[in-house]
A = this chain, B = another copy of it.
Amino acid sequence: MNESSTLKPRKRPVQKRAIAMVDAILDASARILVERGYAGLNTNAVAQRAGISIGSLYQYFPSKEALLVALQTRHAQDMSGALGSLLAESDTGGLASAVARFVRAAVAAHELDPALHRVLEKELPFFVESSELVGKDVHRHVLALLTKYRREVAQANLELAAWMVMRMTEALVHAAVLDKPAAFGAKEIETAVGGAIMAFLSSPAQQAGNG
């Protein structure tokens, strides 16, 4: 009845075999999603690709939706992991260096499985914004960063600044990795993104000019 009964994995897989099965199912889903898009994804195909029966699939996921939420969650966690391990490195440089590392981490995260990421984000009807899954931690991290280098940040509203930084990074990195414009190299864009963020942070919040 309630969401939890149809959205959450049916059983907490404790046995190794069960874990392997869940992984196989999610892997199969991801591959199909990438190869055929959301329209080409159906539970029977997933089961077949995963080498199990359709009945078994439903043993682990109560619905197609639950399967997709799980896939999404796993992907978000993967990205979060990639992000986190880079961000965790001790931070000795100044703000610029921290921002550059943040951007590089974002790039690395997006490069994990760009094709899957694209489909997930562009076609999934109930895509839970990655930011909601990954975002909390990252937001905390960025905010901590801005606070630590408060002196170098000209913006008054740190919360707003953090939001802007996250959005700029997400959007620009996303564009750079997934819809890479032929004209510029990825590295070039990465640098520009870091520069833009730094410029933004270094500039005081100004009055909006009137058009």
Contact = CB atoms under 8 A, between A and B. Distances in A.
Interface in A158-211: 159-160, 163-164, 167-168, 170-172, 175, 179, 181, 183-184, 187-196, 198-200, 202-203, 205-211
Interface residues of A, number: 60
Given A191-B205, A198-B203, A199-B203, A170 B171 contact: yes
Interface stretch (A5-13, A17-25, A74-82, A90-98): A90-98
Interface in A128-182: 129, 157, 159-160, 163-164, 167-168, 170-172, 175, 179, 181
A31 B32 CA distance: 31
A101 interface: yes
B200 A195 contact: yes
A153 to B, nearest CB: 12
Contacts of A164: 172, 192-193, 196
Contact of A99 (B105, B123, B209): B209
A5 to B, nearest CB: 15
A97 B157 CA distance: 23
A128 to B, nearest CB: 11
Stoichiometry (number of copies) = 4
B190 A208 contact: yes
A127 B123 CA distance: 9
11 contacts: A86-B211, A93-B209, A93-B211, A100-B210, A100-B211, A160-B183, A160-B188, A163-B184, A191-B207, A199-B203, A200-B200
Contact of A210 (B37, B97, B122, B123): B97
A127 B96 CA distance: 37
A39 interface: yes
Contacts of A168: 168, 171-172, 196
A99 B207 CA distance: 13
